[in-house]
Amino acid sequence: MITDFFNSKRQIALAMVFGLLISPAIYAGPTETFERLDRDLEDWYLSLLAEVQNNQASDLKPFTTDGCSGGLSEGWKSFASIIPKFKDEFGEQPPWESCCVEHDRAYWKGEVIDGYDKRLAADKLLRQCVIDYGEKNSARLAQDFSMDEKTVQQQFTYAGELMYRAVRLGGKPCSLLPWRWGYGWPHCKVLPVSAQE
């Protein structure tokens, strides 16, 4: 059984690193094989999350959000505080922060049935929301910042793609990160009791 193999903290850490290395978000080789490996590893994490969700002692915490995770909202606020034109144009929070909040809603609950596909869909929606904002506002932003519309749209496409890659890598269930898939639930028990010491 796979859980017998992962019987030490070091082996769990190696499995998580392996998960990052095989992620299709960073691997540019033959994607079918690596997508299958990525899905298989995530399915294992989802089975651990299912154990947490099925445990009667586990409670789903009330929904919380940090806006755009990974420090993006906080960084944006800091940037806005030192550049008045930036703050006047975009405000103190990312203009697509509502998309991040909806993304957090899916991640908070962390559904395990078809969890891989549901997380992938949530991540793609987040990426598209950022791209859509750029497309809808490119004419105004191009004029305000003396840029051409195509450049503005490219920047929002890059931002959306970077956010997508970040959540694909850092949002896996049971990652122990505060923005993981299923963050409303207690942390998964990824180690046998004897190995947790």
Average pLDDT of the chain to the nearest whole number = 81
The DSSP symbol for 62 reads P
With beta carbons less than 8 A apart as the criterion, state whether 173 and 45 touch: yes
168 within 8 A of 123, measured Cβ to Cβ:
yes
Which residue's entry shows tokens 């990525």?
38
Mean pLDDT calculated for residue range 121-149? 90
The total number of structural domains that make up the chain:
1
Q: DSSP assignment, residue 19?
A: H
Token pair, residue 56, equals 């009667």
Phi, psi of 182, deg, nearest 5:
90, 25
Q: Provide the whole-model pTM.
A: 0.77
Does pLDDT of 125 surpass 80? Answer: yes
Tokens coding 81: 């505080």
**H-assigned helices in the chain:** 2-5, 9-22, 31-54, 72-82, 84-90, 97-109, 115-144, 149-170
Q: How far apart (Å, rounded) are the C-alpha atoms in residues 23 and 146?
A: 38
Percentage of the chain beyond pLDDT 90 is 42
Give the domain extent around 52. Answer: 2-195
State pLDDT tens for residues 18-77.
554 445 545 455 577 778 888 999 999 999 999 999 999 999 999 999 888 877 778 778
182, two tokens:
């299923």
174 pLDDT exceeds 90? yes
Distance CA 41, CA 116 (A): 10
